[in-house]
Structure formats: C-alpha cells, structure tokens
C-alpha cells in the first residue's frame, strides 16, 4: 500500500479532461485523474456528483463528449466495454451484473472464450477460479447457482470475474453499500492482497470512514467537477467532508428521548415474503417519543414489515395493536385512519405518482376527507392551498403545485413525501429508507424532521440499511435477519461490529414457530 509514496511507481491509468453532458446537465466537467500501479484511489463524492458516470465512461458504457483515456500507455477507444476489458480494466458495478439462474462458473467464463468454441473448458476454469479464490480470500463454490448466494458472495463472484480476465485495474462502485461490517472488513483485506500483487484499485464511495481506511489517495468530486485531491494520510476527515459537501457538514443534535406509551404493537405476527424474507412470528412495540431503528441487510424481511404496517400486506398470524386496541382489519385505509404517517422505501414506485401533479400527489392519501372533497367532488382550491403550504413549510423547490412530480429532484420529492406524511401530526411514523440516494443537506433535513416528530411524542420506526443512520437516530435498535427480530438494544449499547454480527444472523434466535 505504500506505492503512492514511491514516486517511480508506473502510471497505469490516465483520464484527462473528461466531459459528459446529459442534455443540459453536465455530469462530468473536465475531470482528470491518474492511477498508479499498486495503489488504491478513492473517488469520493455525494450522490449525483458524477462518480458513477465517470467510471461508466472509463469502462465504455458511456461515450465521453470530450477528453481522453489512456491505459498502460495506450489510448482507450471510447464507448467499447470490450476494449476496456482487453486493456485489463475490470469493474464491479453497484448493481451486480450476474445472471441469477446460472452457476458461478458460467457467469465467470461468460465472454472469456471464443463464442463459437464447442465447449466451456469447465475443468480448467474451475481450477483457476479455486486458485484465485484462495489467493485473494474470495472463497465461493464455482458450481453453485448465483440465486443461492448471499450478497457478499455475489460481490466476490464479481471480483473473481475481473480477476479471471486478468484485470490489472479494478473499479469498485460503492462496494460496501450492501455489505455487513464483517463483509466489509473481508473486502478490505482482499483489496490489500490485490494491491500487494500489483493491481490498482479505484474505490468509489461516499463514506468518509471507509475511504480513510482503504485508500492511498482521495479524489473528491462535487457537482460533476473535481473538487480536490488529497493523500489520505495528510487529510483530515473534516477537510474531506468539506470538499465533498462544499461547506460545513450539517450536524443534528439528538437529545435524550422521553419514551411514552406504546402506540403501536405487533404481537407474534407472521406474513408471506415480499421480495425477500417473510416475517416469522415477530413482536415489536413502538413507543411515543422514541425512534426505533430497524437494522438489517436488504431482503431480510424489511419490505414485508413495512408493507404490513402500511396495510398493503396481510398478516397470516398474530395481532396488530394500535393505541392498546387490537385492530380487527388492517388495510391501507385503516392505517391512515389510525394516524400512520408513511414514508415509503421507493419514492418512485410507491411514494409518488410521477406523471401526476404535486397537488394531486399530496392529497392522494386524504382525498376522501371533507377537507379536499365535497359531495364526492374534489376541491382543487383546497388541494392547491395544501400543496402550497407543504412547499413553503418544507422548502420544496418546485415550479408550482401543478408541476409534475417527475420533474422534481430526489431530495425535493422526499421533502414532499415528508410533508404529506407528517401533516396532521401522525402518532406513528413509518420511515423506510428515508434518506436513500439523498445528498448530505437533504439527509440532515429529513433527520431533523424525524427527530422533531419524536420530540413532540410520535412513535417513529426507522427502517434503514445504513448503519450510521440507525446509530445516529435510534433510541432503540432492532436487527432483522431472515424475518426474525433481535432483542432490542438501547442507544450506544452495541458496537458496530456487534450489530454487524446480529445482521449476519449470529445471536438472533430462530423463532419457536420455526422449530415447531
């Protein structure tokens, strides 16, 4: 890892003056970057800073409008993934590019043999994969189906794919976003072995802590421009943060909680699965004046839990208790009538209707109330007034209440959802991934509003895959694994590694219902 301190290390990759425009948006503005042999360079920046675009240009998925790329001293033709692969560049995408119903081996050899050859050369491939896997700590069985692998194992397959093609430059796009803390440690150990073997790595991230522990050099992007470049050892965390955000990092003060009564309760509830694990005999209590954080790796039942509480998924077993009374029939309408504020996981799919206006969207949960309708006809004046109120109160940047929601940025759309959900001071707030894909400013804003809701006495359930977010906001933390819940822990009781152990399923009791 000391390649950066050896000035004679060979430059393996040089990007000069890369510019890419999407319509009027300049995603990359004259960005230059070099990478040396045996070096880890972190590409740091917020969502939308242009990191992924830059790497997609390097890999040939996009063609740059201006600028040149040089790998190992020879220019790389633009817009040709095949040329990038041939030049020894391997990319591990944030969204894996694996075929699920095929084996690890098939995914790895895909495209490595002449397409019309008569066999796959499986025996040789298997041996090579095993060797690479044991050399770099990437153990995975070549004959297993991708669909049977965990997220961490799939990532190992992606890295193996690049190594199998003898990649000398490895690009990792937000590789830790989907990993548990232990898996992240293992990934970092692998990266150390790779650079020791003379490979070079570009590590894309927006997490400062990771960047500091893994990178030799940090290149910071902001708003599509190069904001700065630092040698990791010589830069402070604060300095990097300010380069990334372009100012002070906003900090929320989270005061002590004053828990009140149980406002919402699940008792021994089971459901079917919903794009992930089913819930198996879980119980939880949400108290007023408290934020309950639900941590876990994506796909362990979070989606089912959120849908259950929102009323879109029926419980197979067990009871839902609201304000101490058992709910006989739980539906989306019953949830809203019982004072549930809902911030859905996917803004675009279940949060807002992109082709409808701001006003139509903000009344979509309350259009039947006398506030917005009279004798079955909608009162558009009231709707527009309500939309205007939210736009002002939540500082939503949008042209007018009649504007289509599709035109809003992610952060502004989320503020609109927040305004709709928090209107009328709901007792129970369900916040699923409320800050996913938002920039630092918008994240701080959403957090502040959730803390505010807690302080006025609401019960907040925060479902998040971001462990930092869970730890900062939650007064009580639950961990979900394969549809089972851990025992609750209070703020600061468990370390990141201990939470990581729970996320991996160690110490979460497989429920009695399973054993029976």
Partner 1 sequence: MIEAFEILFTASFWVAAIRIASPLIFATMGELICERAGVLNLGIEGIMVAGAFSGWFTVYMGGDLWTGVFVAAMTGAMFGLLHGFLTVPLGLSQHVTGIGVTLLATSLTYFTYRILLPEVTSPPKIEPFEPFAVPLLSDIPVLGPALFNQTPLTYLAYLTVAVVALVLYRTPVGVAVRAVGENPSAVEAQGISVTAIRIGAVMAGSALMAIGGAFLTMSAFNSFFFEMINGRGWIAIALVVFGSWRPGKALIGAILFAAFDAYQVRLQQITGGVIPYQIFLMMPFVLSIVALVVVARRATYPKALMIPYQKGER
Q: Which residues bind partner 1 (CB under 8 A)?
A: 56, 61-62, 81-82, 84-86, 91, 93, 95, 97-102, 106-107, 109-120, 161
Contacts (Cβ under 8 Å, ≥6 apart) of 161: 90, 107, 108
Q: Which is nearer to partner 1, 28 or 281 (CB)?
A: 28
Phi, psi for 159 (deg, rounded to 5): -70, -40
CA 291 from centre of chain: 21
Closest approach, Cβ 492 to partner 1, in A, equals 38
Closest approach, Cβ 77 to partner 1, in A, equals 13
Q: Which is nearer to partner 1, 166 or 317 (CB)?
A: 166
Closest approach, Cβ 279 to partner 1, in A, equals 23
Q: Which is nearer to partner 1, 171 or 186 (CB)?
A: 171
3-state SS assignment for residue 200: strand
* Of the candidates 480, 351, 343, the residue with the CA atom closest to the CA atom of residue 422: 343
Q: Which is nearer to partner 1, 92 or 310 (CB)?
A: 92
Q: Which is nearer to partner 1, 24 or 117 (CB)?
A: 117
Q: Which helix (H) or strand (E) holds 319?
A: strand 317-322
The CB-side HSE value for 172 (13 A sphere, CA atoms) comes to 32
Closest approach, Cβ 100 to partner 1, in A, equals 6
State the residue for tokens 């991996």. Answer: 504
Structure tokens at 466: 């971001």
Closest approach, Cβ 158 to partner 1, in A, equals 9
Q: Which is nearer to partner 1, 278 or 403 (CB)?
A: 278
Tell me how far CA of residue 501 lies from CA of 149, 297, 411, 423, 486, in angstroms.
Answer: 18, 11, 32, 38, 11
Q: Which is nearer to partner 1, 11 or 112 (CB)?
A: 112
Closest approach, Cβ 451 to partner 1, in A, equals 33
Closest approach, Cβ 113 to partner 1, in A, equals 5
What whole-number distance in Å separates Cα of residue 90 and Cα of residue 86? 9
How many H-runs (helices) and E-runs (strands) does the chain carry? 17, 23
150 touches 276 (CB < 8 A): no
């Amino acid at each position: 890892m000391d390649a950066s301190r050896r000035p004679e290390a060979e430059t393996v990759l040089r990007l000069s003056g890369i510019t890419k425009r999407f319509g009027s948006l300049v995603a990359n503005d004259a960005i230059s970057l070099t990478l040396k042999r045996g070096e880890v360079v972190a590409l740091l920046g917020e969502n939308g800073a242009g990191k992924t675009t830059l790497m997609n240009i390097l890999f040939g998925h996009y063609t740059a409008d201006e600028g040149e790329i040089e790998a190992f001293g020879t220019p790389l033709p633009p817009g040709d993934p095949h040329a990038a692969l041939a030049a020894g560049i391997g990319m591990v995408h944030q969204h894996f590019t694996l075929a699920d119903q095929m084996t690890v081996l098939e995914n790895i050899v895909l495209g490595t043999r002449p397409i019309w050859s008569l066999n796959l050369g499986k025996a040789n491939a298997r041996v090579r994969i095993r060797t690479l896997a044991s050399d770099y700590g990437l153990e995975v069985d070549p004959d297993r189906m991708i669909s049977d692998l965990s997220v961490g194992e799939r990532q190992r397959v992606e890295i193996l794919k690049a190594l199998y093609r003898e990649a000398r430059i490895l690009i990792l796009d937000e590789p830790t976003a989907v990993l548990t803390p232990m898996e992240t440690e293992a990934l970092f150990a692998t990266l150390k072995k790779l650079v020791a073997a003379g490979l070079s790595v570009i590590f894309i991230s927006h997490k400062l802590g990771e960047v500091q522990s893994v990178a030799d050099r940090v290149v910071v992007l902001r708003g599509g421009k190069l904001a700065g470049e630092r040698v990791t050892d010589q830069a402070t965390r604060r300095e990097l943060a300010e380069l990334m955000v372009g100012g002070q990092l906003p900090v929320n003060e989270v005061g002590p909680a004053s828990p009140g009564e149980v406002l919402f309760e699940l008792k021994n509830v089971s459901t079917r699965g919903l794009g992930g694990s089913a819930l198996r005999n879980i119980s939880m209590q949400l108290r007023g004046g408290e934020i309950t954080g639900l941590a876990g790796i994506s796909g362990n039942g979070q989606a089912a839990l959120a849908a259950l509480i929102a009323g879109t998924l029926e419980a197979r077993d067990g009871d839902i208790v609201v304000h101490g009374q058992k709910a006989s029939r739980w539906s989306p309408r019953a949830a809203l009538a019982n004072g549930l504020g809902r911030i859905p996981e996917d803004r675009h799919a279940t949060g807002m209707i992109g082709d409808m206006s701001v006003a139509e969207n903000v009344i979509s949960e309350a259009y039947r109330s006398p506030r917005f309708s009279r004798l079955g006809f909608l009162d558009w004046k009231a709707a527009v007034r309500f939309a205007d109120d939210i736009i002002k109160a939540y500082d939503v940047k949008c042209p007018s209440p009649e504007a289509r929601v599709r035109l809003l940025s992610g952060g502004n759309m989320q503020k609109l959802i927040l305004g709709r959900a928090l209107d009328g001071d709901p007792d129970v707030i369900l916040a699923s991934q409320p800050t996913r894909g938002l920039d630092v400013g918008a994240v701080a804003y959403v957090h502040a509003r959730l803390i505010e809701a807690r302080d006025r006495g609401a019960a907040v359930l925060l479902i998040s895959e971001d462990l930092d977010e869970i730890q900062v906001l939650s007064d009580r933390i639950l961990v979900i694994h394969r549809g089972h819940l851990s025992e609750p822990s209070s703020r600061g009781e468990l370390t990141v590694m201990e939470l990581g152990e729970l996320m991996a399923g160690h110490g979460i009791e497989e429920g009695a219902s399973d054993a029976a």
